[in-house]
Structure 1
Amino acid sequence: MKYTVLGAGAMGLRYGVLLQEAGFDVDFVEIWQPEIDKINEQKIDKINEQNGVYVSRDHKDKHLVPINIYTPEEYQGDPDVWVVFTKQMQLADALKRTAHAFKDHQYVLSPMNGMGHIEKLNNYFDKQRVIGATALIGTVLNGPGDVDFIGAKGAGSMNMANETEKPDETTNQIVEDFTKANLNPTLTTNFLGTLMAKVIFNSVVNTLCTMFEIQMGEFIQSPVAEKLSRQLINEAFDVCERAGIKLLNSREEEWQTVKFVSTTTNPLHYPSMYQDMSKGRNTEVDYINGYIYELGLKYHYEASTHDYLRNLVYLAEFARDFDPKTLTEKVTV
């Protein structure tokens, strides 16, 4: 099948490059112009003007990989499957700009962080062709046109589920293709439970690592890592139970996932929220901890730790962007 990745950031590049290396036809569509410009500058074949992206693994073996990248407006391809990897706050604009390329026969799969994207995808794709997904795969965008795959080859895993919870032939073909690309997919028939399990994971690791500017391997070595993790996990599970969402795993299994991924799979990884914070971008905390808190309120439950942590991220964003020159000197009388 042919794939088009909408959102050629860290994870979009990883998925697309791995699918391409597995032998599949892949295009990339991106809304961030500096990314497009840089990739178009990096020529692999000056005769044919083939451009590419620099790919490393764990900061080593940096090499140029050829890819085809387009703005939404210029893209005229017709993939079988769209793989969507924009940031939550950019998705509505990206979909609107790319809508001319969406066709009724196409499927869309999105392993984006947080919640809020499915409703936007439903504006353009029939629920029968929407696949939600999650990824425990660490990747860093060092800068425009320069991506670093974190973890050994074949490291990481993903879950996916049809919005209808009824897998079909195309879904099974996608699983087969992703398996060939070493993305290690597991197909489930629990749509919300699949997505929320990753939201809970991110609400712990992404947010805490961002607040203290540490890698996942550093976080998990802290003597308070388990206590903090379980507090956030327990609140999130309380919310999901009230909302009638049956999660893929138990509270204990969720903690063990946090521990295993931080210790074994991606100890050197700075989560994507940290990458956004460090590069001066808005974070997705509203779609992760904030989503858990707001969902809880609908069922008369206050996940106060998640709300507190969300507000700490707000404060960190404010402090990062604050200009001391705007301070007025206090006058003491």
Structure 2
Amino acid sequence: MKYAVVGAGAMGLRYGILLQENAGVAVDFIEPTQASLDKIRAQDNQVWKSRDHQERHQIKINIFSPEDYTGEPDVWIFFMKQMQLQETLERLSPKFKAGQTALGAMNGMGHIEKLQKYFDDEHIIGGTAMIATVLNDFGDVDFMGAESAGSSVYANLTEQPSQVMDNLLVDFQAAHLNPSYTENFMGTLLTKVFFNAVENSIATMFQSRMGQLMAYDGFLEGIARPLINEAYDAAEAAGIKLIETRDEMVAQVDYVSNVANPLHFPSMYQDFVKGRPTEVDYINGWIADLAEKHGTEAPNHRLVTNFVHLAEAMREFTPPVNKLAPDYTGA
């Protein structure tokens, strides 16, 4: 199959490069952010790729603006920030063709409803990825972890098998994205949202690596579990069953923090230190809204949402230190 990756940020570049280099399939990149597009074009349509800050080299890619793109992919893979997606879809809408599939593997919630305006339900796939990646700069991506590190999960919106899904899983396995398939659409998406509601938001507030959160002995039971319990209460009130139990979710936070990615700064932190808005409204804020919509409450998620926005506002007075910068020498 042929793929068009929309958004040449950290995860968009990782997916596209792995599909292009490992699976050997055709990949086009569509970059709606002009500064990023200009930077990559100035590098002769090449991007820098590293792994764990080592072996930095350039890779040639096919990259286009939404308006310039004339390709006809089988699958559009969307890796945008939630707040950027609607405008990008409007710019791309003349390019969409009947029978094409949209895969949304973005952080947070809100994108599926937007995709439904342009793609029918039979051609929408939701996905989540536990794959640590850092965008050092436009056109400069750093894969964190070993070649086959991380995993990803996908579900059709119809919760029924499809030939496109079968083909996609073959390509994604060859790309070393370690895919798996479920027939629980919302449960699949919310598993990652609930994880990010703990790791991403708290690490961003305290400008810490995931592993550093564990320096507080009460992190798992005093912070992670109350947030997870509120999120699961909201999901259960909405009639949504997660693919992991509450205890399994706490164990996942423990494992990722201590073993899988202890040195990783989550994507929300990467936005925060670069002065960009975070996606907290689409993660913790979305959970709080879900709870209230279905007759329960999630006050901790509402508080975390406000704390992250407070931290954003405080950047004016206490600019954060970008611990991802090449010249940073601290912890």
TM over 0.5: yes
| 1:38 shift after superposition | 1.1
Aligned counterparts of 1:23 and 1:307: Cα–Cα separation in 2 = 44
Which structure 2 residue ranges, 5 or more long, are not aligned? Answer: 320-331
Equivalence for 2:265:
270
Q: Is the 8 A contact 1:115 1:199 kept in 2?
A: yes
Corresponding residue SS for 1:100: helix
Per the TM alignment, residue 41 of structure 1 is displaced from its structure 2 partner at its CA by: 1.3
CA contact (8 A) 1:280 1:321 kept: no
List alignment gaps of at least 5 residues for structure 1. 44-50, 325-333
Partner Cα distance (1:175, 1:262) in 2: 28
Alignment partner, residue 114 of structure 2: 120
Q: List aligned pairs for 1:278-317, cutoff 5 A.
A: 278-317=273-312
Q: Retained in 2: the 8 A contact 1:84–1:111? A: yes
**Equivalent-residue separation in structure 1 for 2:233 and 2:84 (angstroms):** 30
**Residues 1:59 and 2:53 aligned together:** yes
From 217, 241, 244, the counterpart of 1:246: 241
Name the SS for the 2:315 alignment partner: helix
Cα contact 1:150–1:268 (8 A) shared by 2: no
Q: 2:189 aligns with which of 187, 195, 199?
A: 195
> Structure 1 residue 232 and structure 2 residue 227: aligned?
yes
Report the 3-state secondary structure (helix = DSSP H, G, I; strand = E; otherwise coil) of the residue aligned with 1:321: coil
| Residue type at the aligned position of 1:37 | D
Structure 1 CA distance for aligned equivalents of residues 258 and 34 of structure 2: 36
Partner deviation per Cα, 1:156-190 (whole Å, 9 max, x = no partner)? 00111000000211111101110110001110000
Q: 1: distance between equivalents of 2:92 and 2:318?
A: 37
Q: Is the 8 A contact 1:56 1:147 kept in 2?
A: yes
CA deviation profile, 1:79-111 (whole Å, cap 9, x unmatched): 000000000000000100011111111111111
Hey, what does 2:174 align to over in structure 1?
Answer: 180
Tell me, in whole angstroms, the C-alpha distance in 2 between the residues paired with 1:99 and 1:236: 34
1:170 aligns with 2:164: yes
User: Residue 40 of structure 1 aligns to which amino acid in structure 2?
Assistant: R
Report the 3-state secondary structure (helix = DSSP H, G, I; strand = E; otherwise coil) of the residue aligned with 1:131: strand
Amino acid aligned to 2:300: T
CA distance in 2 between partners of 1:98 and 1:224 (Å): 47
Distance between the aligned counterparts of 2:151 and 2:259, measured in 1?
Answer: 13
1:219, 1:302 → 2: CA distance? Answer: 26
Q: Give TM-score, length-normalised by structure 1.
A: 0.93
| Count of residues paired in the alignment | 317
Q: Cα distance, 1:7 vs. partner? A: 0.8
Equivalents in 2 of 1:6, 1:32: separation in Å?
A: 10
Identity percentage of aligned residues: 54
1-structure distance, mates of 2:111, 2:214: 29
One-letter amino acid of the structure 2 residue matched with residue 200 of structure 1? F
Q: 2:95 aligns with which of 87, 98, 101?
A: 101
In 2, the alpha carbon distance for the partners of 1:261 and 1:255 equals 10
Deviation at 1:61, TM superposition (A): 0.7
CA RMSD in angstroms, aligned pairs only: 1.2
Post-superposition offset of 1:323: 9.4
> Matched residues in 1 for 2:317 and 2:207: separation?
18
Amino acid at match of 1:251: R
- Provide the residue aligned with 2:30 in structure 1: 29
| Alignment deviations for residues 254-301 of structure 1 (CA, whole Å, 9 cap, x no partner) | 111111122222222100100110000000000000000000001221
Alpha-carbon distance in 2 for matches of 1:321, 1:36: 28
CA deviation after TM superposition for structure 1 residue 306, in Å: 0.4
Q: Which amino acid aligns with 2:11?
A: M
Which residue of the partner structure matches residue 13 of structure 1? 13
Q: What is the alpha-carbon distance in structure 2 between the residues aligned to residue 262 and residue 95 of structure 1?
A: 35
1:28 and 1:68 in contact (8 A); partners too:
yes
Q: Matched residues in 2 for 1:317 and 1:77: separation?
A: 39
Following TM superposition, by how much is the alpha carbon of 1:224 offset from its aligned partner in structure 2, in angstroms? Answer: 2.1
CA-to-partner distance for each residue in 1:222-275, whole Å, 9 max, x for gaps?
Answer: 312212111110110111111100000100001111111222222221001001
Write the distance in 2 (CA, Å) between the matches of 1:222 and 1:178.
37
Q: CA deviation at 1:9?
A: 0.5
Residue 139 of structure 2 is matched in structure 1 by 145
CA distance in 2, matches of 1:317, 1:11: 23
